Copies of this chain bind each other. A is one copy, B any other.
Amino acid sequence: MNDIPQTGRTKLRRLPDRALYDRQAIYDILDEALVCHVGFVDQGHPYVIPTIHARIDDRLCLHGSRASRMLRCLSQGGPACITVTLLDGLVLARSAFHHSMNYRSVVVLGKGREIVDPPEKTAALHRLTEHVVAGRWADVRPPSENELAATTVVSFPLDEASAKVRTGPPKDDEPDYAAPVWAGVIPLTLTAGPPEPDSRLAPGTGPPGYATAYHRQSRTR
């Protein structure tokens, strides 16, 4: 896949060796992250709200209540920044200064457009559900007309975006390597525990495989 062109706003000035503009690498990070943090401006003040996202080809979709301030701002085409971050580890160096984290993050800039066409909207909700739990949509009651009307879906083009990735061991100043201090990486993973069944399950409804063996894909690690 091709690169996403750098712009003045997505070009990394600090630590440019951590930057990635490769479209597939960016998509892999977006697809693995469960939630994003959406930045928007309301009356001159920035707000950052966590929410679910899902990628549909070259667009990123968000959804929420029709009553949400965030969705109202975004559906009116206000400028947005959508950031996802995957934490992969804590990097313990021999000096306080060189401590760091291993992570993969993506920043998407752009303006949204509301998806109003019902089949397109349902397709986006389908993808949002599948993004979180692949296989779930087929098992559940799909949205009713009222539920669809109560939901706003906004989609963003993925044409201004960049990734930033740090991997590997600490990088210490040469004289510090002699210090008798343990250094290295503490790996971090978001892990799923055993599913907790709802107390009102219909008889004979055991947990599906996507619940008992839940995991995020991590193609780029």
Complex Cα gap A127–B14 (Å): 24
Q: Name the B residues within 8 Å of A143 (CB-CB).
A: 95-97
Q: Which of A26-64 touch B at CB < 8 Å?
A: 34-35, 37-41, 44-50, 52
Decide: A195 near B185, CB < 8 A? Known: A37-B37, A107-B48: yes
A182 to chain B, nearest CB (A): 5
A195 partner, pick from B126, B136, B176, B184, beta carbons under 8 A: B184
Partner-contacting stretch, out of A17-25, A83-91, A112-120: A83-91
Decide: A183 near B198, CB < 8 A? Known: A90-B214, A188-B191: yes
A169 to chain B, nearest CB (A): 5
Q: Name the B residues within 8 Å of A94 (CB-CB).
A: 140-141
| Pair A208/B182 contact, Cβ less than 8 Å | yes
Q: How many copies does the complex hold?
A: 2
| Pair A82/B180 contact, Cβ less than 8 Å | no
Residue of B nearest to A52 (CB): B101
Decide: A125 near B137, CB < 8 A? Known: A50-B105, A67-B14: no
Complex Cα gap A129–B185 (Å): 15
Decide: A211 near B186, CB < 8 A? Known: A40-B46, A125-B96: yes
A13 partner, pick from B69, B105, B132, B189, beta carbons under 8 A: B69
| Pair B190/A188 contact, Cβ less than 8 Å | yes
Complex Cα gap A44–B107 (Å): 17
| Pair A186/B193 contact, Cβ less than 8 Å | yes
Decide: A109 near B147, CB < 8 A? Known: A140-B94, A188-B193: no
Count contacts on A: residues with CB < 8 A to the other chain. 94
Residue of B nearest to A211 (CB): B186
B-contact 0/1 string along A127-143, CB 8 Å cutoff: 00100110011011111
Interface status of A200 (Cβ within 8 A of chain B)? yes
Decide: A142 near B90, CB < 8 A? Known: A39-B81, A48-B82: no
Q: Name the B residues within 8 Å of A5 (CB-CB).
A: none
Query: Which 10 pairs show the lowest CB-CB distances between chains A and B?
Result: A39-B48, A37-B37, A39-B46, A187-B193, A48-B83, A50-B85, A95-B141, A39-B39, A97-B147, A183-B198
